Amino acid sequence: MEEFAISVFGTPAAMGLSVLALLSALLLIAAAHDLRGHRIPNILILCGALLAIALHTILPRGDGFLSLLPGALGPWGALKGLLIGLVVLLPLYLLRGLSAGDVKLMAMTGAFLGSPEIWWAIFSTFLAGGVLVLAAALRPGVAAQTLKNLRIMLASAMLRTASGGAVSIPAPPSATRLPYGLAIAGGTIVCMIYRAVQLNMI
């Protein structure tokens, strides 16, 4: 398999960059779906995660596709990255800050990048998410709706406390729905480019 990989890719760096280009394509497709329909297809994430595990299993070994020694981490290395991507974003899903698709997309990204590179991608995603939130808040009417929602939630909490939980106010309409898949794609791709330059892969 190593001879085959060398004949196809030429160098370990070229192999790593090819895998990262594949991940970038999957992330851009997911972001496009999120922008258009506010949903990331499960089949895209599942196929991407399985493909990542397969690549880490069959390609020549190294320290990860984004490293000084580009190569596969083995199936357990891919699964470790997947679990890190899943676990780190899971609390935000439980707090209803992200959709399940966003969490699964980061898990798929982790399967490709492995550890420790997934931590760089998560950090970059949070930065990109902050920019996305700021941009959304500046849209006309969004900031006003957000403040109104906060007032309604505070009033509901006070009523529940005063009545012992017997009274509640219906949940207010969402100010805006953020396509966080865009933040995951943008943050991860920028991070990969930066890291690849830093590691002299490109």
pLDDT of 109-162, one tens digit each?
999 999 889 999 999 999 998 888 777 666 665 555 555 655 665 666 666 666
State the pTM of this model.
0.79
Tens-digit pLDDT profile for residues 89-106: 998 888 777 889 999 999
Domain ranges of the chain: 2-137+181-198, 140-175
* All residues at 6 or more sequence positions from 75 whose CB lies less than 8 Å from its CB, including other chains: 53, 56, 57
pLDDT score, position 175: 42
Please determine, for residue 192, whether its predicted confidence score (pLDDT) is greater than 80: yes
Mean predicted confidence (pLDDT) in 14-43? 94
Please determine, for residue 83, whether its predicted confidence score (pLDDT) is greater than 50: yes
Give the residue from 118, 123, 7 showing the smallest Cα distance to 52: 118
* All residues at 6 or more sequence positions from 182 whose CB lies less than 8 Å from its CB, including other chains: 31, 34, 35, 128, 132
Q: What share of the chain is helix, strand, coil (3-state, %, to 5)?
A: 75, 0, 25
At residue 169 the predicted structure's pLDDT band, cuts being 50, 70 and 90, is very low
Mean predicted confidence (pLDDT) in 26-55? 94
